[in-house]
């Protein structure tokens, strides 16, 4: 058996790459858009949750909660622990789930459900983040004049429409501006915060956790309402982990501790200082920090910053879709690479237009950021809770921690996550059901697709002629050979794929050069060059090639086959015909198949999944699709 390297470079990321000014700047633009723009709406939401009556003592308690939430959840949980759990350089809840691995035990299935539902909820978060971010930025003009208020929602719709429509062109060029813009943003909000602190330096006392504890102890059930608003300060926390493969662990950590965290704390403290004075329900203390002459420029900067935040969640959804698809949890959809140098620069039309439709609908229905805040946070708090559950297993199984230290560390995070999760459950009636329902639909699609594919493979395996029978017939001269080259695509590990045997049964002949090409998607993000491909000669004129791709890689079979020819496989690339299956799902007459509603859903997805010729970049004029009926 020969091994060969593909020309497709895996481009493995290093999570421990050295922090440079350029890397830190890139982290600001790619990772911290959502977290960085949370001051636009967090304190305003807290004021609304408190009924508009915030006295200095309550204000200090709120600031203390925000301070310690940022420290415990982002600085400690994500920066120190979660980001250590990388899957060969990649982060995100699906990568974490793959790192732990799957098994058929009850516990293993629960962990898979945690990972899948957490990933599905990210889509729910993704349809709200652009809407609430852009609306909150534009609402700053309301402070200068109420005459522009009727135009805020229509203008937000126009901006969001342009944002989603521009995704097809890629973000490689404009992405270079993200870092400097976000650096300017954090500088400005930090300076504004200092101005507010100078009015009432007493807000600095909120660094003591006694104020947070006092608020929770004295306000009882009402404190849960406040916690729901406080949680908005950390809604972008998952991005630190999900984008680790793009930037690296160290630049993300350095940017957080040196730039982002100080700017956020200063701005929240400055906003809190304003609460010591008179402030009415509906006021946004973020824009009240701004001098009159700087209001419109800051609104402009806020809009750009929120577009960057929205861009991050959109591209993150694209990457998540590719991971889920190549791990076998999502039907094949068309993915277009928008950059020939950056593997993360992709465009997924179906996801883009679906998110756009729901985001615009939410913007039109809710019309303002304070009303939309009720729908925000439930999905993220649930995902963070599920991440903690997976983190405990990682500590035990991957880091070899003892039960006591793993329970102690993850238990602290679990208490915090459960508190915010419970607080956000109170938002369900006011809109929190929207991302949860959206996530539940995506989760149902994922598990139905996986179950359906497993059933299809089981059914095909029963109908397939055994390899020994096929090779015996071939050796006995019972299978005529004709000139030509045929490549039979399969996900089966068998050297004689089902499609090759079916071809012989239907046409009675086999080309002189017949190649079974098994495509395997690994649970690692990237596959090393020396593990990319295996080539074996099965019989005279019959070859078997196994090619492996990581779940973040874009498969390109023609380039792999060029490499295979260089390593001895006699394939005629110009004259080869590629055969792939196109199955039609029908109802099974025996038990063990899918229930009716699942069969209908799976059949719809199966029929509309992207064609093999598009997914694997094959020449259309050389591709033959073979239809089959499979009972599920």
For the segment 519-535, the average pLDDT, to the nearest whole number, is 82
What total number of domains does the chain contain? 1
Residue 8 has pLDDT above 60, yes or no: no
Q: What is residue 4's predicted lDDT score, i.e. its pLDDT? A: 38
Residue 392 has pLDDT above 50, yes or no: yes
pLDDT band for 102, please (50, 70, 90 cuts): low
Nearest alpha-carbon partner for 67 in 169, 203, 196: 203
pLDDT band for 561, please (50, 70, 90 cuts): confident
pLDDT band for 356, please (50, 70, 90 cuts): very high
For the segment 592-608, the average pLDDT, to the nearest whole number, is 83
pLDDT band for 444, please (50, 70, 90 cuts): very high
pLDDT band for 344, please (50, 70, 90 cuts): low
**Residues near 398 by Cβ (< 8 Å), separated by ≥ 6?**
85, 99, 100
CB 265 within 8 A of CB 36: no
For the segment 398-415, the average pLDDT, to the nearest whole number, is 94
In a domain, 24, yes or no: no
In a domain, 255, yes or no: yes
Q: What is residue 301's predicted lDDT score, i.e. its pLDDT? A: 93
For the segment 342-365, the average pLDDT, to the nearest whole number, is 86
Q: Select the more confidently predicted residue: 419 or 53.
A: 419
Residue 20 has pLDDT above 80, yes or no: no
Highest mean pLDDT among 48-52, 297-301, 467-471: 297-301
For the segment 603-628, the average pLDDT, to the nearest whole number, is 78
Helix or strand or coil: residue 314? helix
* C-alpha neighbours within 13 Å on the C-beta side of residue 128: 30
Determine which helix (DSSP H) or strand (DSSP E) holds 472, and give its type and residue range: helix 467-475
For the segment 168-178, the average pLDDT, to the nearest whole number, is 69
In a domain, 136, yes or no: yes
Instruction: Give the C-alpha distances (Å, rounded to integers) separating 104 from 109, 110, 112, 251, 323.
Output: 6, 10, 10, 38, 21
Q: What is residue 6's predicted lDDT score, i.e. its pLDDT? A: 34
Nearest alpha-carbon partner for 143 in 291, 266, 274: 291
- Phi, psi angles (nearest 5°) of residue 207: -65, -20
Q: Distance between CA 319 and CA 567 in Å, rounded? A: 33
Q: What is residue 465's predicted lDDT score, i.e. its pLDDT? A: 56
Highest mean pLDDT among 19-23, 25-29, 102-106: 25-29
For the segment 395-418, the average pLDDT, to the nearest whole number, is 93
Residue 552 has pLDDT above 60, yes or no: yes
Residue 603 has pLDDT above 70, yes or no: yes
> Among 105-109, 145-149, 293-297, 341-345, which is the least confidently predicted range?
341-345
In a domain, 102, yes or no: yes
Residue 257: alpha-carbon gap to chain centroid:
24
**b/e per residue 125-150 (b: at least 16 CB within 10 A):** bbbbbbbbbbbbbbbbbbbeeeeeee
Q: Select the more confidently predicted residue: 193 or 238.
A: 193
Q: What is the DSSP code string of 492-504?
A: S--SS-HHHHHHH
Determine which helix (DSSP H) or strand (DSSP E) holds 95, and give its type and residue range: helix 93-100
In a domain, 21, yes or no: no
In a domain, 493, yes or no: no
> Among 21-25, 132-136, 224-228, 560-564, which is the least confidently predicted range?
21-25
Q: Are strands 481-490 and 336-337 parallel, antiparallel or unpaired?
A: unpaired
Contacts 24+ apart (CB under 8 A), 409-416: 409/81, 412/72, 413/72, 413/73, 413/77, 413/81, 413/388, 414/385, 414/388, 414/389, 416/69, 416/72, 416/73, 416/77
Nearest alpha-carbon partner for 396 in 118, 99, 104: 99
pLDDT band for 7, please (50, 70, 90 cuts): very low
Q: What is residue 429's predicted lDDT score, i.e. its pLDDT? A: 86
**Residues near 68 by Cβ (< 8 Å), separated by ≥ 6?**
209, 212
Residue 128 has pLDDT above 50, yes or no: yes
Residue 524: alpha-carbon gap to chain centroid:
16
In a domain, 350, yes or no: yes
Nearest alpha-carbon partner for 244 in 28, 118, 90: 90
For the segment 242-252, the average pLDDT, to the nearest whole number, is 81
Residue 1 has pLDDT above 60, yes or no: no
pLDDT band for 9, please (50, 70, 90 cuts): very low
Q: Are strands 542-549 and 533-539 parallel, antiparallel or unpaired?
A: antiparallel
Q: Select the more confidently predicted residue: 35 or 561.
A: 35
Q: What is residue 2's predicted lDDT score, i.e. its pLDDT? A: 42
Nearest alpha-carbon partner for 92 in 309, 241, 248, 247: 241
pLDDT band for 385, please (50, 70, 90 cuts): very high
Q: What is residue 591's predicted lDDT score, i.e. its pLDDT? A: 64
pLDDT band for 360, please (50, 70, 90 cuts): very high
- Write out the E strands in 441-559: 481-490, 510-521, 533-539, 542-549
Highest mean pLDDT among 336-340, 436-440, 478-482: 436-440
Q: What is residue 153's predicted lDDT score, i.e. its pLDDT? A: 92
Determine which helix (DSSP H) or strand (DSSP E) holds 313, and give its type and residue range: helix 295-326
CB 162 within 8 A of CB 144: no
CB 395 within 8 A of CB 388: no
Q: What is residue 328's predicted lDDT score, i.e. its pLDDT? A: 85
Q: Select the more confidently predicted residue: 579 or 457.
A: 579
In a domain, 415, yes or no: no
Tell me the average pLDDT of the chain.
84
pLDDT band for 144, please (50, 70, 90 cuts): low
Q: Render pLDDT for 79-89 as a digit per residue (tens, 0 to 9).
A: 999 988 888 77
Show the domain range for 358.
31-211+233-314+333-363
């Amino acid at each position: 058996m020969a091994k060969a390297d593909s020309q497709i470079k895996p481009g493995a990321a290093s999570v421990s790459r050295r922090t440079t000014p350029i890397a830190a700047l890139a982290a600001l633009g790619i990772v911290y858009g959502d977290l960085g723009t949370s001051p636009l709406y967090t304190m305003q939401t807290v004021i609304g949750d408190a009924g508009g009556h915030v006295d200095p003592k309550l204000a200090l308690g709120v600031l203390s909660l925000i301070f310690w939430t940022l420290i415990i959840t982002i600085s400690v949980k994500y920066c120190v622990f979660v980001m250590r759990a990388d899957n060969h350089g990649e982060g995100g809840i699906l990568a974490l789930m793959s790192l732990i691995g799957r098994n058929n035990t009850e516990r293993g299935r629960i962990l898979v459900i945690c990972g899948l539902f957490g990933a599905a909820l990210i889509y729910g978060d993704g349809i709200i983040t652009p809407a609430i971010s852009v609306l909150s930025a534009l609402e700053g003009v309301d402070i200068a004049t109420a005459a522009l208020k009727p135009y805020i929602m229509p203008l937000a719709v126009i901006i969001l429409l342009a944002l989603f429509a521009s995704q097809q062109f890629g973000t490689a060029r404009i992405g270079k501006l993200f870092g400097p813009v976000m650096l300017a943003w954090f500088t400005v909000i930090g300076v504004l915060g200092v101005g507010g602190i100078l009015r009432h330096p007493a807000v600095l006392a909120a660094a003591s956790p006694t104020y947070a504890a006092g608020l929770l102890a004295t306000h009882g059930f009402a404190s849960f309402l406040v916690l729901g608003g406080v949680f908005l300060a950390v809604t972008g926390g998952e991005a630190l982990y999900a984008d680790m493969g793009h930037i690296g662990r160290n630049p993300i950590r350095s940017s957080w501790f040196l730039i982002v965290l100080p700017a956020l704390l200063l701005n929240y403290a400055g906003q809190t200082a304003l609460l010591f004075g008179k402030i009415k329900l509906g006021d946004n203390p973020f824009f009240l920090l701004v001098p009159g002459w700087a209001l419109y420029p800051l609104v402009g900067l806020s809009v750009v910053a929120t577009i960057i935040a929205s861009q991050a969640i959109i591209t993150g959804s694209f990457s998540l879709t590719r991971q889920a698809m190549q791990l076998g949890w999502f039907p094949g959809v068309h993915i277009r690479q928008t950059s020939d140098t950056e593997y993360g620069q992709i465009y997924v039309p179906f996801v883009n237009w679906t998110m756009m439709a729901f985001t615009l609908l939410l913007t039109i229905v809710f019309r303002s950021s304070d009303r939309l805040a009720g729908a925000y946070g439930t999905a993220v708090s649930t995902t963070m809770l599920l991440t903690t559950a997976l983190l405990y297993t990682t500590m035990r199984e991957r880091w070899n921690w003892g039960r006591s230290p793993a329970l102690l560390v993850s238990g602290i995070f679990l208490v915090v996550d459960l508190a915010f999760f419970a607080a956000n459950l109170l938002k369900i009636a006011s809109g929190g059901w929207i991302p949860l329902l959206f996530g539940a639909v995506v989760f149902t699609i994922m598990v139905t697709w996986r179950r359906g594919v497993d059933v299809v493979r089981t059914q095909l395996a029963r109908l397939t002629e055994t390899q020994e029978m096929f090779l015996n017939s071939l050796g006995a001269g019972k299978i005529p050979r004709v000139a030509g080259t045929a490549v039979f695509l399969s996900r089966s590990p068998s050297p004689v794929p089902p499609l090759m045997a079916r071809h012989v049964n239907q046409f009675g002949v086999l080309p002189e050069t017949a190649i079974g090409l098994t495509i395997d998607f690994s649970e690692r993000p990237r596959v090393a060059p020396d593990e990319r491909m295996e080539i074996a000669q099965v019989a005279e004129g019959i070859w078997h090639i196994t090619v492996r791709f990581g779940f973040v890689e874009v498969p390109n079979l023609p380039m792999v086959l060029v490499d295979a020819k260089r390593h001895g496989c006699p394939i005629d690339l110009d004259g080869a015909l590629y055969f792939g299956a196109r199955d039609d799902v029908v109802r099974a007459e025996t038990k063990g198949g899918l229930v009716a509603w699942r069969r209908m859903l799976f059949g719809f997805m199966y029929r509309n999944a992207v064609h093999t010729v598009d997914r694997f970049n094959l020449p259309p004029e050389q591709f033959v699709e073979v239809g089959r009926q499979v009972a599920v």
